[in-house]
Amino acid sequence: MAKMRPESLLLALGAAGSASAASLPAIIADNFFFKRAAADAPNGYAPAPVDCPSTRPAIRSASALSPAEQSWLQDRRKNIIKPLRDFLTRADISGFDAGAYIDANSKNSSRIPNIAIGVSGGGYRALMNGAGVLAAFDSRTDNSTAKGHLGGLLQSATYLSGLSGGGWLVGSLSLNNFTSVQAIVRSTPDKTGPLWQFQDSIFSGPAKGPMQPLSTVQYYGNLVSTVNSKEDAGFNTSITDLWSRSLSFQLIVAPEGGPSITWSSLQDDPDFTAANVPMPILVADGRAPGEKVLSVNTTVFEFNPWEMGSWDPTVSGFAPLRYVGSNFSNGALARSERCIRGFDNAAFVMGTSSSLFNQLLLNLGGNGTGGINVSSFLPAGISESILGVIQGFLGDLSSDDNDIADWTPNPFFGWNNGSNPGAQSRRLTLVDGGEDLQNIPLQPLIHPARAVDVVFAVDSSADTPAPGANWPNGTAMVATYERSLDGIANGTTFPPVPDENTFINLGLNTRPTFFGCDVKNFSSSAHIPPLVVYVPNAPYIAFSNVSTFTFSYNISQRNAIIDNGYLVATRGNSTQDEQWPTCVGCAIMSRVWSRNNDKVPDVCNQCFKRYCWDGTRNSTQPTPYEPTPLFATMDISSQKKNAAAAVAMPRALAVVGAVVAGFMVLL
């Protein structure tokens, strides 16, 4: 990639430069709203050599969980006991004494359910809808543990995965001290800077203020100069570097978007180290530059706090994430090679998982299809010289066809030569985890090694066409099921699901559905997959089907979509089914009861009859899907609506007496 040299930047942008934390007033620099992941990279955004630890880093086989994860799990499985007990007790499963059961079996892991949550891609739509679902699952959200709600499910989960926009959500919460959605929504720019201030698009940059001193001119200068610093250090750069740096300003509370914050720094976060929170995992796909279509047998990569790599038989290996960027060969780092730190910039990991947006950025450069004019995304008054710098920078990137995330040097060079298609390439290029149509990050959660019992699959995909565009229709579920039938599945099974037309015709895309309820269907499988609770985006109080490529939302619209996601998770705070929390409890316990031949309570059998897909199919072409909200819609016209009103949702929605003739008004 040809760089825009600093001299050119200074001529075009004036004194663009980057404002360092030191230039902020001391009281502001020391009192950022959230604690955040450590800024542990040795040289900002640019990877840099460091002394290797006494045990030199190496690639390990994907034959089992890493020792670090196994050790962490011992504590996490203990720490979920109390929140799980509280949740199941509130679920009120008739004929099942949840408190006595958990007390009696708290030290027997085979009798304690292992819960995971996966949040799909879909840009800001996925972040906001997913945020509402996680707020509903989070006991820290006001009134989320009241009757009809689902608070505590998040605290009971072991794994939390995301990709693309869902990865922004998982990453933003995790990197900001595993904070709550409610805390973010109630915050204001003077306390968090540009965190989740989506009214300021990444193209215009964050609004200048006491927590964020960069002007738009300086913002662009900062983006370009930090990306250039990585190339000056001798590492390949791509459009994803620019995209990632832009995202960081909205997703991480830190000066300049935290260029020194790494994904691997999560392994040292006190709450994560103590196993008080779920393990965050992001997903990406392997793809060569210029390759346009990915199939079900594409290699799926995951990023967890300790490692990056793949369970797939193609790679079947994991690299120590903290030292990715080092020159591994045949699974080892030669004694003559120094260790590299800082390659795994936290925003770069999130950007890797969401590189679908790279095509839009390339189009801004004028060399992609459509040739969008970058000036249409920028505030009025930006000078032609600035436009020229941005256009030229993007044009340089697109001329190399770098619509990927470049993880060169390939840590898996010379690794698994017989099956790894990239084993002889020094370059490893990754893209958006949803490009193979698996838009829900299920692969890390269904692998047998993790022994997950139930997955809550939050789907904010944009599958349906106009007039009811951008709603899910089960495509992601179908893709994962089809992959489970391919050789690349390597023993990883997945519950059968119907085709997309059936999802629409049976209304499976409008309400939660359980897949894989009857374990007898897996009697011939070496592994029984988790039960999957499919939670699709649907309209309750807002049209939450905004376009994946909409980059700006006023605060009212942001809050309305988050509120709507809360109702998606709770089925309108159980106004659509007063037994919904009970049925969720039944789904959580289902695999445990089957595994131990325990009697299933009658109320759960009733739940399974209502929510389990029974194999019925209707593959005829459906009528155009054009849903209407179940309840009165929220007013999203005001830019200045109090952000704190957003997570007044549980308080307002808890008043079930506001439901009249099947409709509910959010007051």
pLDDT tens figures, 476-501:
999 999 999 999 998 899 999 999 99
103-112, 426-435, 545-554, 635-644: which range is least confident on average?
Answer: 635-644
Cα separation, 630 vs 625, whole angstroms: 15
pLDDT of the residue at 662: 27
CA 24 to chain centre: 31
Fold of 6-657+659-664: Cytosolic phospholipase A2 catalytic domain (3.40.1090)
pLDDT per residue over 143-178, tens digit each? Answer: 999 999 999 999 999 999 999 999 999 999 999 999
pLDDT of the residue at 390: 57
CB 590 within 8 A of CB 517: yes
Residue 526: pLDDT band with limits 50, 70, 90? confident
Cα separation, 110 vs 106, whole angstroms: 10
**Backbone dihedral angles phi then psi of residue 309, each to the nearest 5 degrees:** 160, -160
When pLDDT is averaged across residues 381-395 and rounded to a whole number, the result is: 57
CB 314 within 8 A of CB 287: no
Residue 7: pLDDT band with limits 50, 70, 90? very low
SS3 213: coil
Kindly tell me if the per-residue pLDDT of 27 is higher than 80: no
pLDDT per residue over 399-408, tens digit each? Answer: 555 678 999 9
Cα separation, 218 vs 48, whole angstroms: 25
Residue 659: pLDDT band with limits 50, 70, 90? very low
Q: Up-side HSE of residue 127: CA atoms within 13 Å toward CB?
A: 32
pLDDT of the residue at 68: 98
pLDDT of the residue at 294: 76
Nearest to 185 by CA among 37, 35, 83, 33: 33
pLDDT of the residue at 395: 60
When pLDDT is averaged across residues 338-366 and rounded to a whole number, the result is: 80
pLDDT of the residue at 650: 36
Which residue(s) pair with 318 in the sheet? 60, 309
When pLDDT is averaged across residues 113-132 and rounded to a whole number, the result is: 97
Integer CA distances (angstroms), 445 to 99, 281, 350, 359, in order: 27, 9, 18, 29
When pLDDT is averaged across residues 343-359 and rounded to a whole number, the result is: 87
Which residue(s) pair with 317 in the sheet? 61, 310
Cα separation, 311 vs 275, whole angstroms: 23
Tokens 């800082």 appear where? Answer: 342
| Percentage of residues in the chain having pLDDT higher than 70 | 82
**Backbone dihedral angles phi then psi of residue 350, each to the nearest 5 degrees:** -65, -40
CB 151 within 8 A of CB 141: yes
When pLDDT is averaged across residues 237-255 and rounded to a whole number, the result is: 92
When pLDDT is averaged across residues 318-339 and rounded to a whole number, the result is: 97
**Backbone dihedral angles phi then psi of residue 431, each to the nearest 5 degrees:** -140, 180
Nearest to 255 by CA among 168, 194, 337, 335: 194
Cα separation, 355 vs 332, whole angstroms: 29
Nearest to 584 by CA among 152, 122, 175: 152
pLDDT of the residue at 381: 54
Cα separation, 162 vs 171, whole angstroms: 8
Nearest to 474 by CA among 558, 550, 538: 538
Name the burial class of residue 405, with classes exposed (0-12), middle (13-18) and buried (19+) by CB atoms within 10 angstroms of its CB. buried
For residues 462-485, b (16+ Cβ closer than 10 Å) or e, as one string?
A: bbbeeebebbbbbbbbbbbbbbbe
The per-residue pLDDT of the chain, averaged, comes to: 86
SS3 616: coil
Kindly tell me if the per-residue pLDDT of 4 is higher than 90: no
pLDDT of the residue at 12: 31
pLDDT of the residue at 480: 97
pLDDT of the residue at 388: 60
Most confident of 30-34, 69-73, 398-402: 69-73
| Percentage of residues in the chain having pLDDT higher than 90 | 71
Q: Which residue has the higher pLDDT, 645 or 575?
A: 575
Kindly tell me if the per-residue pLDDT of 351 is higher than 50: yes
Q: Which residues contact residue 235 at a Cβ distance below 8 angstroms, ignoring those fewer than 6 apart?
A: 46, 47, 325, 343, 408
Kindly tell me if the per-residue pLDDT of 219 is higher than 80: yes
Paired tokens of 266: 């999560």
Kindly tell me if the per-residue pLDDT of 95 is higher than 50: yes
Integer CA distances (angstroms), 65 to 61, 79, 248, in order: 9, 19, 30
Tokens 């988790």 appear where? Answer: 530
Cα separation, 523 vs 520, whole angstroms: 5
Integer CA distances (angstroms), 586 to 259, 436, 443, 507, 648, in order: 44, 32, 24, 22, 29
Rounded (10°) angle between helices 555-574 and 580-595: 70
Nearest to 627 by CA among 435, 399, 492, 471: 471
Nearest to 127 by CA among 576, 561, 633, 658: 561
When pLDDT is averaged across residues 41-50 and rounded to a whole number, the result is: 97
When pLDDT is averaged across residues 372-385 and rounded to a whole number, the result is: 55
pTM of the predicted protein model: 0.90
